[in-house]
Every structure is written in structure tokens, then in C-alpha cells.
Structure 1
Amino acid sequence: MLPMSPVPLLSLLLLALQIVWSSTPQEPKVQGSPQPEISSLHHPTWSLGLQLYRSIRIGASKTNTIISPLLLANSLLALGGGANGSTVAQFHDLLRITQNEKAVGEALTRALKSVREANGTSYTLHSSSALFSKHAPELEKSFLEKLQTHFGLQHVALEDAQKETDMEMLQSWAKSGMDGEETAALEQALETKPGAVILANALRFKGFWDRGFHESQELRNFLGTKYTKVPMMHRTGVYRHYEDMENMLQVLELGLWEGKASMVLLLPFHVEGLARLDRLLTLDQVEKWLGKLNSTSMALSLPRAKMSSAINLKKQLATLGLVDACNETSADFSTASSMGRGKLHLGAVLHWTSLELAPESGSIDGMHEDEDVEKPKTFYADHSFIILVRDNSTGALLMIGALDHTDSSAIHDEL
């Protein structure tokens, strides 16, 4: 008998492997493009965003909060480029720059580029960043050019007018940067002392799902810091989900169209304020939650809502260590201005943001029938929850916020 030739033997082995593979149970298909696993959150936007979020929320009135760590980190790095001495050291500490400032700058640049490329597919986003100055020492031309070309910040000189006029101009700038959306008014007083500069960001965001939600015509209760009636959006399917029984919350990841970004929701098991969850929001804890997400059959209900906020972050940034930059005596922005130390300081860090939760998909035919899933877990977001928006290409934290209430009609008979 002749020995079997190598070619038929190889064919038999490949056939056997194919049979074994086809009989192996497969992971359920998750809606949309595959999402990258999150093994660590080392992007500088995460540390800044989580720390700043907690600082804003501690002791504050329980109202909607939303900020963009990516936009803010880029602006802070830009302004820090004009600082020296302990002032620049505090910018570096805040942004976790240990040795290589260039590497952090490149990480933020890549993230901003990725966000711009995803704009119009995974979401619509309108944003603007600027440095305003009034009665400030003359700023170096090279510094202003770098603000514009490297970081995308405009420089705007405020007119010699009253504080109310300055605020109207800033409000108008924010509205334009958010594509005409009416912006929330800042409650904090605006500092216009000689030498003060104002760092400002404005961002408007609306995500598009891989598959659209079905919107209910019936209004349902949303039990936040205000009890209101809202339209709810519904969908069943397979999503990445985790239940933290110890901390009594659900973690849900929702892919946006074409998989370029995702939204993560943190929902308490029961109706409660978010103070307990806010305290849990550390880098280590968020990394644990995201690392435990698994594909799960889900029945989802989300409120159709828009959240917005306007805040001067100067106080919170000082609490996190950015002290010298805000002090008109100790601030050293000698690289930004030839007038030297003590003549230029940070008077305000203004931040306008809005995020809309709507039922639309990123595709015209994105509204498909619900997936046929068995025994789905329920994620019913009829009470306050936290939202994280992540750029999937770079890992950057684009937005972080809390929906404490909706701007809908109040429930008068259930209070």
C-alpha cells in the first residue's frame, strides 16, 4: 500500500478543524461595528474629566452637569504653553505630563482629529475654543499663532465695556460655536481685572445609534431631582452590559453609528440622587466596570432628553492644583507676554456644553425591527444616570455628564 501524499492529509486536517469550529458556540453578535476592548484609561482626558466632574458635583446643587474633558484638556495645554516656572508645572501636573509634553499634545491632537472625522457619521458635533483678553498686556505674536495653528483656539479681544456687555459678547460667541443653540446663562461673576484672560469652550453633541430606537407616544415619569413627564425610547437587542451588585448599578455601552464612538451609561438600581455614584467615579473603578462588560440580551428604555450646562471652572481647577495661573501676583505667563510675571493671569474658564439623547440612527434605514432575544435584562432609565462619551479610535473621553432632571412638564400630582 502506498503512503498517503502530504496534500490530501493537509486537506483532511483543515476539514476537521472547520467542523470543530462550526460546532463551537459563538458569542452573540453585538449591534454595530466591533468595539475595542478597554484595558486601561491612560488617555489624559480621563484623569482630568473624572477629577473635574467630581469636583463640580461635590456640594453643588443637583442640576444637570456636562463637560468635555477633551476640549478642555486641549485648551489648558495651549494656555500652559505660555507659562513658566511653578505655573507651567501646575498645568503639567493637572494634565499628568511627567516628562514628555509633546506626547500628551500628540495624543490630544490625534483625539481631536478622530472626533472631527467621526462628526457627521457617529454624531453631529459643533464646537469652538477661544482665549479672550481685556486690558491684558500685549500677547506675543508667536504664542497667538501657536494657539490657532496647533490647538485651534481663536484669540478675541474684549471691548472696553461693562461686565454685562462682556458677558453678552461671550454668550453670543458660545451660541455661534454651538451652531445657534440657545446657551445656558453663567451665574458666576466675570472677572475683568487688568491682565485677566478668559479661556472658553463651547460644544453641542447629538449621537446617532447603530440602530434607531422606537419612540413612545405616551409620556412616562422621569424621577430625578425634579419629577417630570418625558417621551421614552425603546429597543431590544444584544448590548455590552454589566451589573455591579455590590455598588447597586448597571453599566451599559451603546455603540454609535459606524463604531467610531460609544456612549456608556451608569444607572443606579433604584431611584436615588447621584451623590453616591459621583463618589464612586474614580479611574480605577471605571476601568473595572468597563473591563467587565459582556454581550447580553437587553430591553432598553431611555428618555428622549437634552441636557446642557454653563459653568466657570476656575474654582474647580484651582482645587485640583491650578493655583498660580489664577493668581494675579504669582501667575507666570512670561512666554505668552513680554510684560513678564504677574501681569497676566487666568480670570475665568468658561465651559458651555449640551448633549441630546434622540432616537435616530446614523443610517436612513437604521430603524429596524427589534432583535429577537430571549429573557432580556431590563435597562429602564427613568431616573438620574451618568453619561460617558468615548472616542473609540483613541480612547479619549469626549464628554462626561449627569442627567439629574429633564426640561419637561412637571408631575404636579405625584410630588
Structure 2
Amino acid sequence: MKKTFKNIAMMALALLALSACSSTKKISDDKSNGMTSMTNEDDIDPGFMVLSDAQYDLVKRNNQFALNLFSEVKGVGSSVISPMSVTYLMSMLANGAEGVTREEIMAAIGAKDFDIDEMNAFYAYLMRRAKTADKQTTLNIANYIALNKEFKLKKKFASTIADSYQGSVEALDFNDSKSTTRINGWCSEHTDNMIPSIIDQVNPSAVAYILNAIYFNGTWTDKFDKSNTKKEQFNGFTRDINYVDMMHRNAKYYYTSNDVYSAVTLPYGSGTYSMTVLLPNDGKFVTDVTKALNADTLASLRRNMEECIVDLKLPRFTTEMKLSLKDIVARLGAPAMFDASRADFSSFANGNVYVSEMLQKAKIEVSEEGTKAAAVTMGMMKLTAMRPQEPRRVDFHCDHPFVYLIQDNYTGAILFMGQFTGK
């Protein structure tokens, strides 16, 4: 039996607002629906806090996808990704896919066993909610398809992208360099120029470029005083010593700790969004933290937080990253869409297509004022060869007289003709 959505809720907050150290004041939980109140009462949408069991399960599984994705890309240097941007791109691709290709995509992002129309409705709500969830914080989610003018999208797919994903579709001449300018211009426009470009040049043989952009601009509820920012030592991943601009603030924050790490939550704006920082304990490393995190521990993290007076030091930093997602997403359970011989995007456009490339550019800036972050995730669709049909099996036994001919295949002209009768 398929799981269905009865109420539409805000998954993005479950991913972003892991907030929640005095023994007398803890984050309050609503046990009836598994959600935690993170916002001021005046800012709460009455429907926002209602999360069905099926939706809560979807949130957990999508969070697991986010953790798996990060584990694949974190490396040893600074990194930043937007799992939600990847999820939006893949959910759009799922609508153009059929069969195993669709099943793999939906399973990878946590939507296995869910009806695709209700999944679409859920993501549509996230986009609407993002615009109004916090008047002091900006969260914009945008979708766009640049389509080679030689092709046409299937009507149902185009309708879903417009209705559920508020996506614009634009037919472009992929032989014209202006198409590159247009696609990159869309990225810049929807990320406040944090991601000014996503491609170097349009591939003339591409069928389409499918893009998602996410832009976040949040001011700390309580800003850091710039006069308290000092150059301080920072011990790197490989025990190298660097010096960073270290912000400093002594105030009330929600805090928790365990054998592996301690965690502090810094809210933005009216509290709808927040950043949770997980700091490895002495003798532990980032790899230990990521190993200790899964969908269940992530969900319970904020429930263990208490309000404490925290002497907080946090570096001021900027990180940007360009990442090819093709092999990573394939390893995370969705390989068929990248395989020209297996991909089934028969609900996408005319012609047999597959995802030839998937990549993301992301950037984050953390300062005394707050945080700006942006990401663009792109999938490039290309034509496959016609899928070979399984040949029909027949018997052809030349055990009696037959006729033969030799032709010019270009003109069809018969060059020789004869028969064989056994003599």
C-alpha cells in the first residue's frame, strides 16, 4: 500500500532548523506530530506545524540522502553543498522518467513508495512556504529548463514543471553563444550573483539543461560584534596551523554534547531557520562526527539541546565548490538515468534521452551579520541511440529451391538475380 500525504508540511525547515543547554529550559516538542516549535508564535502558519507520519518518514529519508551525499563529497578541505537543490533537480527528473529510472531516482531521495503527484505537491508547498516562512530571512527556490529549440517537452511534464515547481521553460538555439549567456544569467539572477555561471559553453548536441537554484540570506537573530573579531589560531584537518578571523560572542544558545561532538544552534531572523555547528571532541575528527550522524540521530539532536550560556567562537569564512554529481548520485542508488542504454525518460521530451552530466556549484559566506548561501544544480540531457529491440526469432531453412538477387542498396537497382534448385 502506497504512503500518501494528507497534509502538506515544510521539509526544508526539518533540514535547516535542527535547533534547539540549562537544565530548566529545553526546546519544546509537539509529541502529536513529531515537530519542534522553532519560531515565534506570530510567525507560525497554522498548517505549518502539522506533519503526517508519512511526511515525517519522507523527511527522515531525505535527510539520510543529504548525509550520504555529504559523506561522498566532504574530502579533507572546506566544502559546501546543497542537498535540497539536488533533491529538487532529481524530483523534476523523476517526472520525466519511467520504469526503473523513476524508481531509482525517487528511492535515492527518500520518496520510495510515495505517489509522484503527492511528492510534487509537497515540493510545491516548500517553494510557497519558503517565500513567507520568515519575514527577516530570504529563501528563494527557483527552477528552469533551457530547451534546445529542436525538441519539445511532453505536455504533462511541462505542466508539472510549471504548476508544481514554478519552473520556466525557454526554447533556445544551442548553436548560438547567446544561449550560454542566457543560462548563466539565470543562475546569477536567482543567486544574487553568488553563482554567476554554471557552464562554460552550451553543448549544441544537448537536448536540455535542467536547473535548480537555491538562495539563502539570513541575519543572525543576535549578531556578532565586529570589534570582538580577532585573528586566532585554527588547527586544520591535517594538524596544520592556520590563522582565521574568529568571531566571538558570549550569550544564550541551545547546546548539547555527547561522546563524539558538541553542538550549538545559531538562529536566523525570527527563528524559522538556523545553523547548527557540530564540533568534534578532543581526539575526535570530522569523520567521526559524520559516522555518528544518521537520519535518526539527526532528528533527535535538537530534542537533546538545552539553553546554556555559551562562550561561542566561530570563524568568519567563505567557501565555494564545484562538484560533479554524476558518479556520486549513481553510487547513492540512481545509476540508470546516466546510462544511455538504460535510461527511460519517455515522459520528458521527444526522442530517447539520458542525463549526460549533473553538477552543482555552491557558495557560503558566514560573517558577523549572518549567512549568505547559494547553489545551482544542473542536469544536462542528451540523446541516446535508438534503443535496440530484441530481435524476433525465426527459422529460415534453405532446404528447397529459392530465388536470390543482388542489389545496389542506395538506388535499389538489381545487379544480379537468380535461383537455386539444388542442381
User: Aligning the two structures, in what range does the TM-score lie when normalised by the shorter sequence?
Assistant: 0.5 to 0.7
2:26–2:305 CA contact under 8 A, matched in 1: no
Q: 1:318 corresponds to which letter in structure 2?
A: A
- How does the TM-score come out when normalised to structure 1? 0.67
Question: What's the counterpart of residue 17 of structure 1?
Answer: none
Matched residue type, 1:176: E
Structure 2 residues without counterparts, runs of 5 or longer: 1-22, 29-37, 376-423
Alpha-carbon contact 1:196-1:345 (below 8 Å) kept: no
Q: What value does the CA root-mean-square deviation take over the aligned residues?
A: 4.0
Task: Give the deviation of 1:113 after TM superposition.
Answer: 2.1
Q: Is the 8 A contact 1:132 1:198 kept in 2?
A: yes
Does residue 1:176 correspond to 2:189, yes or no?
Answer: yes
* Structure 1 unaligned spans of 5+: 1-24, 363-388, 390-397, 400-415
- The Cα shift of 1:241 comes to 1.0
1:306-331 superposed Cα distances (whole Å, 9 cap, x missing partner) = 22222232221111221222222221
Give the drift of 1:268: 1.0
Cα deviation, 1:229-263, whole Å, max 9, x if unaligned, reads 33222222222211112x2x111122222121222
Q: Within the alignment, does 1:359 sit opposite 2:382 as a pair? A: no
* Alpha carbons 1:83, 1:334 under 8 Å: kept: yes
Task: After superposition, give the CA deviation of every residue in 1:28-82 in whole Å (9 maximum; x if it has no partner).
Answer: 899984898x999936455335434434544764233323333332332222112
Secondary structure of residue in 2 paired with 1:65: coil
**Structure 2 contact 27–302 (Cα < 8 Å) conserved:** no
Distance 1:106 1:147, change over 3 A: closer
Pair 1:191–1:87, CA change in 2 (3 A): farther
Q: In structure 1, what residue type is equivalent to 2:298?
A: V
Query: 2:355 corresponds to which residue?
Result: 346
- In the aligned structure 2, how far is the partner of 1:191 from the partner of 1:329? 24
Q: How high is the TM-score relative to the length of structure 2?
A: 0.65
What is the CA–CA distance in structure 1 between the aligned matches of 2:362 and 2:162, rounded to whole Å? 21
Residue 195 of structure 2 contacts residue 362 of structure 2 at CA under 8 Å; is this kept in 1?
A: no
**Cα shift readout 1:348-386 (whole Å, capped 9, x = no counterpart):** 233232232222379xxxxxxxxxxxxxxxxxxxxxxxx
CA contact (8 A) 1:326 1:346 kept: yes
Does the alignment pair 1:85 with 2:99? yes
**Residues 302 and 32 of structure 1: is their aligned pair in 2 closer, same or farther, counting only changes over 3 Å?**
farther
| Equivalent residue number for residue 214 of structure 1 | 225
Aligned-pair identity in percent equals 18
Instruction: Choose from 275, 292, 296 the match for 1:284.
Output: 296
1:108 aligns with 2:123: yes
The aligned amino acid for 1:353 is A
For residue 315 of structure 1, give the secondary structure of its aligned residue in structure 2.
helix
1:98 matched to 2:77? The reply is no
Q: CA 1:169–1:273 in 2, change beyond 3 Å: closer, same or farther?
A: farther
Take 1:214 and 1:328, find their aligned partners in 2: how far apart are those partners?
A: 55
Task: Give the alignment partner of residue 152 of structure 1, picking from 166, 172, 178.
Answer: 166
Higher relative contact order (CA 8 A, sep 6+): 1
Q: Which one of the candidate residues 274, 277, 286 is aligned to 1:262?
A: 274
Give the Å deviation of 1:150: 1.6
Q: Deviations over 1:173-198 (max 9, x none)?
A: 32222112255878xx9995956543
Contact 1:171 1:185 in 2 (8 A): yes
What SS is found at the alignment partner of 2:162?
helix
Which residue number corresponds to residue 133 of structure 2? 118
**Secondary structure of the corresponding residue to residue 153 of structure 2:** coil
Within the candidate set 229, 237, 241, 2:243 is matched to 229
Q: 1:250 aligns with which of 262, 282, 296?
A: 262
Partners of 2:370 and 2:245 in 1: CA distance? 17
Change (3 A) 1:29 1:345: closer
SS at match of 1:258: coil
- Name the aligned partner's letter for residue 105 of structure 2: F
| CA deviation after TM superposition for structure 1 residue 126, in Å | 4.7
